[in-house]
Amino acid sequence: MQFRILIVGASGTVGRAIDAELGDRHHIIRASRSGDVTLDITDTASIERALDTVGELDAVVSAVR
């Protein structure tokens, strides 16, 4: 079964490692200031827009420091 997983902080060291581990088995959506989905975790409106954009998810992984 393939899950839709949003990785927040996907461009960082930990986010890239998570992506590498899960990417072969699941549909990964990368969220960061410059990822598949633009997201700024300090801005509530940015988070809401990102979640509206990606639609239904099975999991959210935070790799933000």
Can you give the pLDDT at residue 43?
94
pLDDT of 32 strictly over 90: no
| Residues 42-48, mean pLDDT to the nearest whole number | 94
Work out how many domains the chain is built from and give that number: 1
Q: What pLDDT is recorded for position 35?
A: 81
Count of alpha carbons within 13 angstroms of residue 57, beta-carbon side = 17
Q: How far from the centroid of its chain's Cα atoms is residue 29's Cα?
A: 5
Length of the chain in residues, anyone? 65
Q: Can you give the pLDDT at residue 30? A: 96
Q: Is the pTM of this model over 0.85?
A: yes
**Predicted pLDDT at 51:** 95
Say how many C-beta atoms besides its own lie within 10 A of residue 32's C-beta. Answer: 20
Amino acid at residue number 4: R
**Does residue 2 surpass a pLDDT of 90?**
yes
Question: What is the spatial distance between Cα 25 and Cα 23, in angstroms, rounded to a whole number?
Answer: 6
* Domain assignment of residue 8, given as a range: 4-62
Q: Confirm if 32 and 11 have CB atoms less than 8 A apart.
A: yes
